Structure 1
């Protein structure tokens, strides 16, 4: 059974993996045997990330480019294929969010979020997918969101992009399944990261909301994404296609956290 989840010999490219959940998923892939390639667009963050990977026993390769720039993406994917090896696993994790009420949001900001969160994954999937089609094998994992299913105040652009990413996932799966390429998504719930630290303190209204809204009664730990990531990147998911696996502690299963009352 271990062989089903063994990623030894596979090159995995994870975008936006210089911090946060991207780094957690990239680490999981490397620990399962994959040769790790990390994308980012900030030199200082990349340098720090590669050092953190080394401290964790992982010799990751770093490539700096903007996933929304198709020419840069194509050039760097060709470099990775030549310098590291054939990309067997692509994780489209790079993303951004702007929390602005819809009536106050500039169209330019709306377009920017869609460009990073939806067009970027399309560009990366297209450029990596060309090689996967030729090789008749590949795994693409798009990082969706709770906002692929639910709405929330101030995140109209993000929700539109992540909802679109869910449908892009299903459509690419439909087009490429015949080439033995599996395209699936992961939808993280609310996770304990550096970005959420300020709102995870005891007594903060949003912290209380998440704990009471989540049946598991807690925020997710980044390591909670490891199993889903390895599963969708491995042979274990060879007949799983076009699916979004929500790792959310049960939020989407209920209208509220169950009480102790019967």
Structure 2
């Protein structure tokens, strides 16, 4: 039986690319989304992927969704924590609500979903978890203290949780994308985007497929010796 993979934020952008890549790998993919019904319906119709609407920042909503997915589709053996939002602003202009929204969605969702699938993965002695971080969680970014903090937190969360799962067949890794050609990046003013691309050694934005290939590698059944790692996919923009 094909392993069930849950991709949060999996109907658009990077998440949609990841969902498609895992389906091509033979996984039974379930994609979650928070609000864009039109995009989710179009994605489901195009791919045949099952979609579920819930707020990944809300623990009780996640609990109900995981129970429903496992009852309707099967046990979740692969989890990709991709859900994320931005609420940018300098610290002077950033409200507590802007801070909380980004921390709860980008970092809190990792806790929520990992917590809810962990016992099942432990019992089956198999699990693959990939958390999507960011180059801005590694290098920082002006006007994004909330986003950078959340993404940096993902990298620490990944390293700690990997140690808990290592002997039980569960691998936990992160991917730190650079600037990827998505709707969010396309919204950047052209002159600013030109300056960003100029700083990328390979000379282009990344694609969703660049990230999806990394996820497919880290979630493979035989990827048993890679855990606690952060795979930077950024065109050489940030190396360390």
Name the counterpart of 1:233.
Answer: 219
Report Cα offsets for 1:43-102 as digits up to 9, x if no partner: xx24533433432xx321111111122122112111111110111110000011111001
Partners of 2:37 and 2:218 lie apart in 1 by 25
User: Number of matched residues?
Assistant: 240
Partners of 2:26 and 2:108 lie apart in 1 by 30
Q: Supply the RMSD in Å over aligned alpha carbons.
A: 1.6
Q: 1:51 aligns with which of 39, 42, 49?
A: 42
Instruction: Determine whether 1:210 maps to 2:196.
Output: yes
Name the counterpart of 1:24.
Answer: 17
Instruction: Determine whether 1:80 maps to 2:63.
Output: no
Partners of 1:212 and 1:190 lie apart in 2 by 12
Partners of 1:148 and 1:197 lie apart in 2 by 20
Partners of 2:37 and 2:80 lie apart in 1 by 17
What are the residue-to-residue correspondences of 1:117-196 with 2, within 5 Å?
A: 117-196=106-185
Q: How far 1:193 sits from its partner (Å)?
A: 1.1
Q: 1:242 aligns with which of 221, 224, 228?
A: 228
Instruction: Report the CA distance shift for 1:64/1:53 in structure 2 as closer, same or farther (over 3 A).
Output: closer
Structure 1's unaligned 5+ residue stretches are 1-7, 255-262
TM-score (norm 1): 0.87
Q: How far 1:200 sits from its partner (Å)?
A: 6.6
Partners of 2:210 and 2:187 lie apart in 1 by 21
Partners of 1:215 and 1:228 lie apart in 2 by 19
Partners of 2:206 and 2:115 lie apart in 1 by 31
Structure 2's unaligned 5+ residue stretches are none
For the pair shown, the structure with the greater C-alpha radius of gyration is 1
Partners of 2:76 and 2:186 lie apart in 1 by 34
Stretches of 4+ moved more than 4 A in 1? none
Name the counterpart of 2:27.
Answer: 34
